[in-house]
Structure formats: C-alpha cells, structure tokens
Chains A and B, each alone.
Chain A
C-alpha cells in the first residue's frame, strides 16, 4: 500500500465505523473491497493488518451490529473474509476472538441486522472468501455455520439463496481436498465429517416431498458437477444417483428444470463421461418421463454432448422433433420426421401437450424451433440432418399461422385456431426457415418456401416485426439458391420470385409504419448489392417504381428510414440503377444529382443516422471509384471533409477519417505493413518527392481535418486520426527528400496552432499548409506516445485507490479544503 493511502486509511475507517456519518454508495465500497483483495492477493494480509491497526479497530464495532448500517456491516463481513483467507491472518484474527463474533452466533446472525438481505449476503461472501484452508473448515465445523448455510438455501432473497448453494459447494470441495493424498474413499461414509454432513443434507433434501427443497439440492449438485471435476465427484454421483432416479418415479417429476440442469452438468463433466455410472440410462429414462416442454432443453443438451450413445441421441432427437412431427401429422404432409418413424405412439402424447392451451402450444413450438435453430450449425448435430421434413414443418407452421393450411384432423383444427395470427410463432418460424436455407431440400419444397415467403411479404396482416423477419429469411434463401450452370447469377426459380416480389416492394416502401419502410429498404440494399449486376434483376428493378420511391424516402420524416434510404440509394447508384427521372410536373427542371442530394443531407440533416449513412456511402464510392466521384476526386474529398469536420456526431467525424484514409491509400498506395506476407503490388509509380506526394492532401485540407481530429474530445476519433497520421508518417519516410526543413517559419506557426488546438481552442483554421511543414510536424509530434495515452481507458486517472479514498472522504466532508468537483 502506498504511503499516501496509508495516511488516509485511518480517517476512512473512522468514517465507516461512525454510524452518524453518511455512507458512501455501494460502488465505492465494492471498489474498496476490490482494492483490499488486490493488496491481499499481492502480499501478506497479516502484514497489512499489522501496518494498519485501524483495520482491526474497524472490524471491532461489528460486535455491536445494531449501530451500523447494513451496507457497512456487509462490507465488514466481506473484508474480514478477504483478510482471513490467508491462514496466518486467520489465526491472528482468531486470537482476537474476532471471527467467531463476526460469523458465529454472537455476531449479526439472528440479530436485527440479519433481516437485511445485504447482511446475509455479506456473511455468505465473507465465509466464502475465508474458506480457503483447513483451519477455516475447523472453524466452520465448530461455529455451526454450516447449519445456517443450509437454512439460507431457502432464503427469500434469490441472491442469498443462490450464494448459499455456491458456498456449500465450495466447502464441500475444500473439505474433500483436505485428505489430498491417495484416492478418495469409495464410501462417503469415510469422508471428512464436514463433507459427510453436507452430503447427508443433500440426500435428505432429495428425499423430501417439498419441491423447493429438492430444487435446492439439485442446484447445489449442478453447481458442483459443473465446477468441480475431481475424482471424488464420481463417487458422489454413484452414491446419489439412485436418489435422483427416485425423483423420476414421481408424477409429476418434481423440479424438472433443475433436474435437467443437473443431469446435463453431470453428463458434461469429464470425470463422469464413462458409461459406468448408468448416466445414459438415467438420461433416457428422464427423456421419456418429462413433459414435452421440459424434455426439450434436455434433448438439446444431450445432442450437444460430444460423446453420447447413438441410441440416446436418436431418442433425444425424436423428443426434440416431437412437436413438429405432431404438426406435420395434423396436416398430413408426405415426408415424415425421423421422430415419427416408429415413434408414432408418442405423437398423441405430444398432441396432448400441444393442445391444452394456446399459451402452452405457442410456447412449446417456439422453444422447439429455437432449439433446432441452435442445434443446426453445430458440428455434432444429428446426421443426416432432416432438411426436407424440417422445411416442410416450418412451412406448415407458417401456413397455420396465416390460416392457409388445411388441417386434416381435429388436432390440426385446434392448432390452426391456436396459431392463426400468432406473431410470436411467426417470428420463430421465419427465423428457423432462414437458417434452413443453408441446406438442401427438394425443389418442390423450395417452391413452397418461396411461395409462403411471398405470401407473408404481400399480406397486409403481417406485423412489422414479422415482415422484417420475412425479408431476412427471403434474403437468406435467395443467397443460398444454387447458381445455374449456364451462367447468370440467380437460378431461374429465384429470379422469377424476385420478379414477383418487386411489385410488392413499392407498397412496403409506402407503408405508414416506419419500420416496414426501413426493413424494405434494407432488403433492397442487400439484394442490389448481391444481384445488381444481373441483367434480369436489373431489368425488373428498373421497370418498377422502386428506385424512384427510394429516392423519395431520402426525405422521410423518420431518421432511420432516411439512413436506410441513403444506403439504398448509394448502392443503387453504384450499380448504375439510379436514373434521374424526368419529373412529370416540371419537364425542364434540373434535378439535383444524387451526390448533391447526399451532401445536402450530410450538411443539414438534424439526426445522426442519415449523416453517418452518407459518410459510409461516400467512403464506399471512393473505394469503388464511383463515376460521380472519379470525375473530380479531390474536389469531392475536400467538400466531404469540410462538412464532416463540422459535424457534432463523432461517428461522422470518425467515418470522415476513414474516407481520408481511403484517399491516402489510393494516392500513396496500400500500407505495406498491413500484412507482412502479402505480395506488394507494384505501386503506380508514386511521385518521387514528398512535397509532390502530399500536395493533393494539402489541397483537400486533409491535414487540417486530421490534426483537428487528433485533439478531438471523443477518443475513438482521436485514435483513428493518430493511426492515420502514423500511416502517413511511415509513408513519407520512404521518400527521397524526407529530411525536409524542420525549422521554417511555417513549421513554427503550425506547431503553435496545434498547441492552441490541444489546449482546446480550435477556433482558428490552419490555413494553407506547405507539405514540408507538415512532414516536419509529423516527425516532431509524439504520435506513439499519444496513441498509448489514448489506448488507456478514459478514467484511468480517476481509478487509482488514492482517488477512491479521497472521494469517499470528501463525500463524508472530512477533507476540509475540498475543491469543487467540476468533473
């Protein structure tokens, strides 16, 4: 601990111990604890106590807990735990009889302070930190704390209850480590007393009739098997598994969710992966015993396991697919799901699960779809993956939702009534349908997919969120549709679909809901990016009203829509799909070019999103050498940078630097350091003189912009500018005339101006710069140092322990000459 902190500590301890003093907020106390933890981790806690006796004094008032606020009391309990984590310090505190009074019967336990959850939580956390050595175990055994922890498992505060469970696991783990030598005894009867007590408690809870108790025991076991992988855990599982199996006999199975968690954590444990403990049988039995909604997560967990018997995987997959099987059967679709083959006996069961209420049906279907969506990208997913039946199920669900499916059974009729118009299921099914695009299905089914997507995109009843999902799924399907062999970019099928879709798009772009207009535009941008070069698509797009409408949306009242319209127009224009229409009203009127229109948005739009979008489009145009830009690149860059430098939105300024970087790269060549193994393309004969090379940048006032950004109050902008200037310096270093003049009159005035800027006065422009002066300044600036400073988080200065102590004392009004805090 540095001496300055040591000096302040007694005063702080006095403040904390004084019940009349206002207590600093929780975060201060947390930070203080973190600090003590770092000190304790780095050195001896005993030394810390001896050097700062005020800490011991601070812990003493706990003996009269009624005087202290619960927050401080909890803090002290946790502090004591951190200090006592080291055995010598523990002994020291023990000698002072402090620990029993803190954590034993004499302490806050059972007193009035105990009613505050914070205090109970502090007590547990203190014990958790403290329990690191055998002495602590003895202490626990004698103080009777373990029984208290047992009772805290059922605490009204969830945080306390869960911490109590974790503490039990921690104690059990430590006590089993104690007889470290040799293999663990095969009989828990020979385990240390403390461990026996805890195991006994767990057994008792597992036998209990009350579900909350069973849940507590299962949660403790789950935590243990997921965190502790010592060999003795296997012994424990063998010992306890009959009790767990007994739970499965009950109807309904109690605490099913916790049971699933436990079984999965056991199955994932590397110690227990062998089949010797009968785990696979238990899992199989559980799968068949649980209700469909409870079995789903278990089935997913089983399928995610790396190693698992084939039969169990098959069973799990069948369980997972059951709801979809039921849907398919209710509408009699030809291809069945694997789960339905031979497993039809289960289907009525699931139908029973699906049908009791709308909420249950919707919940189960959404859960199943989400699980399958999670499973599909995993390498261990069941193989072969049933693409076709899944596709068919997703399409059927979507049809049931929009009322176009024809059910063939009572189950189907009920499903139809439950699902009609259900937005939640529609969203889940569309998401799932989108992921299914990565596979292959029979052509007939793909036709159905496109048909149902078109129905959703056309229907006036599709809600905005459903529509967004439908657009996303459509894009995924279009992207995955195979390329035809005879050239062209889209297979005829998808092309036909796009042509049918284009007449729908204008209606969506005119929707009164802004989110519909927005997702329509996003879809357009993506499709144009992907197929803008494809003749059939171009033709259909140009024949539609879409480009014209998109342009009108540049003036939409909603800023998100304007931003999406900017992106879409940028993309259309890049692809040559933006034609200036001859306005019917004013045949002779000169239409503004898109470039001018976007510049207008950049300089006048009141919202940040459209301006950011414009900058992105401009950067892309510059990269692609868009015709409007290439005509006079320097002029373009100069205009954009001038507007961007004035912008109040830091993202716009940062994007401006990105554009400047692209310009630099195009003029000077790619940064050679970007990839050391890359072949350096022969640069297009750069000018040999640095002055010549930098001239264009001076003309577009790039340096003015970059230097200004270097001292920007927003860190990301400054960082970006720093990177850009470093790149520039590296580039100029290679030129023959790099030595330049480092002491001309220009250099001096430039440096002076920069210093003024750094001080915060950015009013004056730099004026015309000479390349030589720029090179000199670049070399004289400590850019690396600046980059290092910027890389630190912005509050690094304010995070020191000293400042924390000062802040806390200042809050209490102890530091007399407290300066006004203007931060």
Chain B
C-alpha cells in the first residue's frame, strides 16, 4: 500500500493511494498563490496599472501542483472531499488521459461548479490581446526582478481552464450521498462521511474486508451551517490520512467573527464603505447570518449589503435547497416551512442585494456607505479589483480579509500606497490542533499520516508545541513528491464458499469451539472476488453426447490421507508399547521433544512438537505396527 503525495499544500491536498489493485486519487486542490506574482486584472483600463514601466499585463495563470511522480492516466477514481479541493479537476480529467470516475456529493459538485464558473468568468471577461510565455524560460526568469525570479517551478504554471473543459470534467463526476457504500472493482469499498466543514464536504473511508484507511480532509467540529462531522465511523482505522486543518491555528473563529462585525460597524458608522473579498460560497453564509443578527442591534439596518459575483444568485439559492446536507437546526426549519438560511429574509427586505457584476443594475442601485462582498480573495481578478481602485484612497473605507488562503499583505502589494484601513480576521473553521488531539484520542487509528507542516510548530512560532500533531505512535509525515509506503501489511483475504460445497463439509470439533474440515475445491477469482466452487465431477464415462470438454483442466483428485492433530503423551505411549510386547524401552529427552528407543528392535521413535519419525531398519511390518500405535494417540479428520 503506497501513498503518492502530489501536493505540498496541506489544505489543498492531492494524494494518490494504491490500495489492493486500485489507484485512488484523494482530492485535487489548486494552489493559486502563484497568482499573487501577477498584476491585478482591472475591469476598466487602469491608468495606474497600465502605466507601470516594463512588463505588460499578464494573464491570470494558475499553478497546478503536481509532478511526474505517477502516470495520472492510471488513476481509477478520484474522491473529492469538498468544493475547494476540486479546483484542479479539469487539468487532470482533460489533459492526462484519465478515464476513470470522480466521486463527490451533490453540493460539492454544484458549488464547485460555481467556483470554477466564477474563476473562468473573472479571467475570460478581460481577454488579452497578446500573451507572453517566454518568461517561463529559466534563463529569462533569472533576469526578472525579485520576487518573480525566485518563484519555483514556473514551468508548471498553467493557463486557466475554459468553461468547456469545466463542463467536460464535471460530466465525469458521479454523485454520492453520505454513508453510501461504493464498490470499486470488487476490491475496495469507499464511503463518504460528513465532515462538518462545508455544504456536502466529506471525509472518505476506503476499506477492504480486513483493512481500513480513513481520509480526513477539511473537517470542522464547530456548529456552523453544514451537517456535523461523523467521527464514530472513523474508528478502527489502520491508517488515517489527515489533511486540511485550519490554516490559522492561533485565531479562534468566534473571536474573528466578533472582530469582523465590530470593524464593519465602526467603518459604516463613520460613513465609510466595507469591502469583503471572499469566495461566493462557504463562510459568507455564516457571515451573513451573523450580520443578520447583528445589524439591528448595531443600528445598521439602513446600510445596504451588496454581494457581487457571476454566481451570487445561484450560490444564495443553492444554499437554501440542500436542506439534507445542513445541520439539524437548519433542517428542521425546512419543515416549518422556512428557508434554512436567514439571508433569504435579508434579500426579501432589500437589505442584501446581489448582482452578477458591476455593470448593469448595480451601478444604478449603488448607494454609499455600504458593505460589498465580492471576489476574488487574491485581489488579482474579479470585481474586487475595481473596488480596491475605487475605495483605496480614502481612510474612511475598510477592507476586511476573512479568507485565510492568501497572505493579505501580498494581496495588497500592488495597491500600495493605500489609505484604506485593512483588517485581517481570517475565519477558518477547520480543525485546530486541540480538536485534532481529541479526535485522535476518540478515533484511535493505528497510524496517522499527515503533511510534514503538521508535525512541527509553525516556523514563526517555533515555541508553540501546542500547534502540532501530538499522537502515539508519532504521525508519519509526507512532503510534496514523496512516496510513502504505508506501514501495514495485508494479511488476509476473504474467500466465499459456494453453498453446495459448504454443505458437503463435515467439520470435526478438535477443541471446544474449534472445528475443522478439509476442503477440496476450485478457487475461482474474478473481479477481485474469490469463490471456492465444488470440484467438477469426473466426466461421465460413456453415453454422454456432449464432448468431453475441459476434462484436461480438471486437476487430479487424489484420495487424500486424513490430517492428523494432537500430541503424543510419552508415558502413555511407552505403556502402550509395553502392552504390545515391546520391552527394553528407553526414553531420552531432547531439546525438541523425546526419543523413544526400542533397543531390542533397534528402532528409534523421534517425537517432536510437529513431527514424529519412526526409524527402523527395513522392517516394514514393525514400522506399520508402530505407526498404528502412534496414530491411536492422534485425532484424524
């Protein structure tokens, strides 16, 4: 059993597990931090950006984090744990010869599609007349100013995929539900479990009859909108692969939400605008819910909230229809019937308005001061670029970063100097290390495998021993482009016996509770299933019209000698010998057992734990007599 680690990013994992005869890819996250090396893509020509000296505007490019460690066309299935971890899917399904199936839950696919659509839309709506790629050449890259010249593996950076590729990739997905058991080639069974992090987010169990591997990725124990995490089903795992922990282990999400609300209120009260760069799904639902409760108490009822994204409408509506994937509270609301999320009411009362883009209705409705939620959190493309240009000059305005994926300082770099206030309150609801240690105590896997980042404190806080995974035995760590041999061996395989064969068995009890029977059968293996079938009867001797077919294949069925079990009590054996007329018997103890010497007959009986030898000189009669005496002490079946 091997694990191929294709991504070094702990929260955007991409691992391939070879288990029995299957090759399973676990997630395919897309690390987009390389976009921070590019200039923002403005919606309107920005004189400031276009007048920069030297390098002209570049495409938004993406960085696919993988290597030639494994031939991706051999991957049988891809298991997706949440919508953030499937963003590289088109690169794999469309360009590698992949012919397998992708498994994911319905919300994951739907919201994943929204995220991809938004990404493609953001990039494609600002087409470039020309594109440059020569700089990817190492010799040229060396000449570029820092930090560009220090960027690693620039050659693996890819252009953003197209909508066509997205559609084609998504068509290869098969929808699954929590706890559904999916057979892969009869060899292993995979099951998604609720992970509590996002709508439809899942952990996966990959198990055969005797082995169980759990894949935990992006899980949360906090009470937010999704269904709570299923921990019980993770118990008794041989290996637990642990990825997708919180990126900001020192920030408590509750405190951050409080910080978010306070800063938002302070800005708006002073007549400033608030910009929240965010993804169109996920934490935004929780933020809107908090604001729903908060705005009245803070006297902000008149402040408009704008949500601008090509997929804003779909995202808000999708969230309301996936009731079965929501936490219990929200599920019960549906039966009232009420919309599970309160943002429906915000929309109804016109407090929250959503628009596909800046153009059109938005420009006529736009009223300040206001709060704008829009993408992309990297500040490199999307409508957020426009708002940064628009509001950056006034110190009344505030940009509040809530997504932890990008360094906010790097994201802001091209907009400097900036008068606008910047608040960083990253909200990451994924497991922190305290929760992980509780989880591991509860679940008790035999082995834990995790990215190497989790096995040591963060470099900036090297004394925080609490910010790492602490378990026994110590977790095995992996890094990018590493192949791990998972530390356990498969020892058993399940074999079925056909009923008629089972019928013919005559078990014999050799010890209380243990019965044995010998089986003669043909082992039939197909689709990774092993079946014992009755041996074919010898062919009819004559009269059969059918041709003798296959009789050549039939193995010779010899009459089997019975199997023996038990041990020989030496004293009783000697008495029996004496009874049968042997005399002058001498017993010697050896390291392994005993030697019985029949001096008169010049015969030696060597009794050991697992063998008995009768050594006599060409006297077959004597040997058979002695053999029968020995056999009397043993059980036969």
Which chain A residues have a beta carbon within 8 Å of chain B's beta carbons?
Answer: 403, 405-407, 412-414, 416-418, 420-421, 459-463, 506-508, 510-513, 516, 545, 548-549, 552, 555-558, 584
Q: Which 7 A-B pairs have the closest CB atoms?
A: A417-B466, A460-B259, A510-B262, A460-B255, A510-B265, A461-B255, A557-B297
Closest to B263 in A: A507
Tell me if B250 counts as interface (CB < 8 A to partner A). Answer: yes
User: A584 and B266: CB pair below 8 A?
Assistant: no
Give the Cβ gap from A722 to chain B, nearest Cβ, in Å.
42
Assess whether B258 is in contact with A516, with CB atoms less than 8 Å apart: yes
CB distance from A628 to the nearest CB of B (A): 25
Contact B299 A506 (CB under 8 A): no
Cβ-closest chain A residue relative to B265: A510
- The CA-CA distance from A639 to B49 in the complex, in Å, is 65
Interface string of B242-270 (1 = CB under 8 A from A): 00000000111001111101110110011
Shortest CB-to-CB span from A62 to chain B, Å, is 56
Residues B255 and A413 in contact, CB atoms below 8 Å apart: no
In the complex, A421→B433 CA distance in Å?
Answer: 12
Q: A403-B464, A417-B465, A510-B266 in contact; A460/B296 too (CB < 8 A)?
A: no
A416 close to B258 (CB less than 8 A): no
Q: Does B425 contact A (CB under 8 A)?
A: yes
Residues of the B chain whose Cβ atoms lie less than 8 Å from the Cβ of A508? 262
Distance between B565 CB and nearest chain A CB, rounded to angstroms: 52
Taking a contact as CB atoms under 8 Å apart, the answer to whether A545 and B270 are in contact is: yes
CA–CA, A346 and B33, complex, Å: 52
B51 at the interface (CB under 8 A from A): no
CB-CB under 8 A from A513, the residues of chain B are 258
Residues of A near B461 (CB, < 8 A) are 403
Q: Does B463 contact A (CB under 8 A)?
A: yes
Q: Report the minimum CB–CB distance from A562 to chain B (whole Å).
A: 11
Alpha-carbon distance between A552 and B252 when the two chains are bound, in angstroms: 28
Task: A460-B259, A555-B299 given; name 17 further pairs at CB < 8 Å.
Answer: A407-B463, A416-B466, A417-B464, A418-B466, A421-B252, A461-B251, A463-B255, A508-B262, A510-B262, A510-B266, A510-B298, A511-B258, A511-B261, A512-B297, A545-B266, A556-B297, A584-B271
Inter-chain CA distance A512–B251, complex, in Å, is: 17
Q: Could you give 12 example pairs across A and B, Cβ below 8 Å?
A: A403-B464, A417-B466, A420-B466, A460-B251, A460-B258, A461-B250, A461-B251, A462-B255, A506-B266, A510-B266, A512-B262, A512-B294
B261 pairs with A512, CB closer than 8 A? yes
Asked if A507 contacts B262 (CB within 8 A), the reply is: yes
Q: In this complex, which of B250, B256, B257, B466 has the most chain A Cβ atoms within 10 angstroms of its Cβ? A: B466
Interface contacts (Cβ under 8 Å), in number, total 76
A461 to B259, CA, bound (A): 9
Q: B290 within 8 Å of A by Cβ?
A: yes
Residues on the B chain within 8 Å of A421, using CB: 252, 434
Inter-subunit contact B425/A460 (CB<8 Å): yes
CB neighbours (8 Å) of B257 from chain A are: 512
Interface pair A416/B464, CB less than 8 Å apart:
yes
Cβ of B171 under 8 Å from chain A: no
- Name the residue in B250, B290, B297 with the highest tally of chain A Cβ atoms < 10 Å from its Cβ: B297
Once the chains are docked, how many angstroms separate the CA of A418 from the CA of B466? 7
* Chain B residues near A556 (CB-CB < 8 A): 297
Which of chain A's residues has its CB closest to B298's CB? A510
B interface, how many residues as a size bin?
20 to 34
Main SS of the interface on chain B? helix
Identify which of B262, B266, B299, B465 contacts A414 (C-beta below 8 A): B465
Question: Given the complex, which residues of A lie within 8 Å of B515, measured CB to CB?
Answer: none
Which B-chain residue is minimally distant from A549 (CB atoms)? Answer: B269
Residues of B404-433 whose CB lies within 8 A of A: 425
Given the complex of chains A and B, what is the CA–CA distance between A412 and B290 in angstroms?
38
Contacts of B464 in A (CB 8 A): 403, 416-417, 420
Bound Cα distance from A129 to B348, whole angstroms: 75
- A524 to B: closest C-beta gap in Å: 16
Residue B293 is within 8 A (CB to CB) of chain A in the complex: yes
Indicate whether A512 sits within 8 Å of B293 (C-beta atoms), given known contacts A460-B258, A461-B252: yes
B262 CB contacts on chain A under 8 angstroms: 507-508, 510-512
On chain B, the residues within 8 Å of A558 by CB distance are 297
Q: Which residues does chain A contribute within 8 Å of B263, judged by CB atoms? A: 507, 510
* Min distance, Cβ A669 to any Cβ of chain B, angstroms: 46
Whether A460 lies near B265 (C-beta < 8 A) is no
In-complex Cβ contact of B261 among A405, A406, A510 (8 A): A510
Q: Quick one: closest A residue to B268, CB to CB?
A: A510
Minimum CB distance partner of A410 in chain B:
B465
Closest Cβ–Cβ distance, residue B553 to chain A (whole Å): 66
A159 to B596 CA separation, bound complex (whole angstroms): 76
Q: Contact at A545–B269, with CB atoms within 8 Å?
A: yes
Chain A residues near B298: list those with CB within 8 A: 510, 512
Which residues of the partner chain B approach A418 to less than 8 Å between Cβ atoms? 466
Which residues from A are CB-within-8-Å of B463?
A: 405-407, 412-413, 416
Residues of the B chain whose Cβ atoms lie less than 8 Å from the Cβ of A420: 464, 466
Measured between beta carbons, the chain A residues less than 8 angstroms from B270 are 545
Residue of B nearest to A461 (CB): B255
Which A residues are CB-close (under 8 A) to B266?
Answer: 506-507, 510, 545
B214 to chain A, nearest CB (A): 26
Complex Cα distance, B77 from A380, in Å, reads 76
With contacts A416-B464, A460-B255 taken as known, whether A557 is within 8 angstroms of B269 at the C-beta atoms is no
Write out the residue numbers on chain B whose beta carbons fall within 8 Å of the beta carbon of A413. 463, 465
Rounded to whole Å, the gap between the CB of A246 and the closest CB of chain B is 41
Q: Are A512 and B466 in contact (CB under 8 A)?
A: no
Q: Which residues of A sit under 8 angstroms from B271, Cβ to Cβ?
A: 584
Which residues, 445 to 471 on B, are CB-close (under 8 Å) to A? 461, 463-466
Identify the closest chain A residue to B271 (Cβ).
A584
Quick one: which of A403, A512, A548, A557 has the most chain B CB within 10 A? Answer: A512
Q: Give the distance to chain A from B87, nearest Cβ to Cβ, in Å.
A: 30
Q: Given contacts A417-B464, A545-B270, are A552 and B258 in contact (CB under 8 A)?
A: no
With the chains together, A511 CA to B258 CA distance in Å?
6
Q: How distant is the Cα of A413 from the Cα of B255 in the complex, in angstroms? A: 25
How close is A215's CB to chain B, nearest CB, in angstroms? Answer: 33
A584 CA to B268 CA in the complex, in Å?
Answer: 13
Least CB distance, B263 to chain A, in whole angstroms: 7
Interface residues of B in 274-294 (CB under 8 A from A): 290, 293-294
| Alpha-carbon distance A513/B257, docked complex (angstroms) | 11
Can you name the residue of chain A whose Cβ is closest to the Cβ of B466? A417
Shortest CB distance A553–B (Å): 9
CA of A552 to CA of B299, assembled, Å: 8
Q: Nearest CB to that of B302 among chain A residues?
A: A585
Docked pose: A549 CA to B263 CA in angstroms: 13
Q: How far is the CB of B610 from chain A (nearest CB, A)?
A: 49
Tell me the minimal C-beta distance from B468 to chain A in angstroms.
9
B266, chain A: closest CB distance, angstroms: 5
Complex interface: chain A residues within 8 A of B255 (CB):
459-463
Please name the residue on chain A nearest to B425 by beta carbon.
Answer: A460
- Nearest residue (CB) in A for B299 is A552
List the A side residues contacting B425 at CB < 8 Å.
460
- Chain A residue with the shortest CB-CB distance to B434: A421
Chain A residues with CB under 8 A of B261:
510-512
CB proximity of A251 to chain B, nearest CB, Å: 29
CA–CA, A516 to B290, complex, Å? Answer: 16
Q: Report chain B residues within 8 Å CB of A405.
A: 463
CA–CA, A413 to B256, complex, Å?
26
B441: min CB distance to chain A, Å = 13
Name the CB-closest residue of A to B252. A461
Docked Cα-Cα span, A418 to B298, in Å, equals: 37
A477–B361 alpha-carbon span in the complex (Å): 56
- Contact indicator B250/A403 (Cβ below 8 Å): yes
User: Which residue of B has the minimal Cβ distance to A420?
Assistant: B466
Cα–Cα distance between A53 and B256 once the two chains are bound (Å): 77
* Chain B min CB distance to A217 (Å): 40
Please give the distance in Å from A744's CB to the nearest CB on chain B. 56
Query: Which residues of the other chain, B, contact A414 by a CB distance below 8 angstroms?
Result: 465
CA distance A511 to B256 in the complex (A): 11
A508 to B298, CA, bound (A): 12
Residues on the B chain within 8 Å of A516, using CB: 258
**List of B residues within 8 angstroms of A461 by Cβ:** 250-252, 255
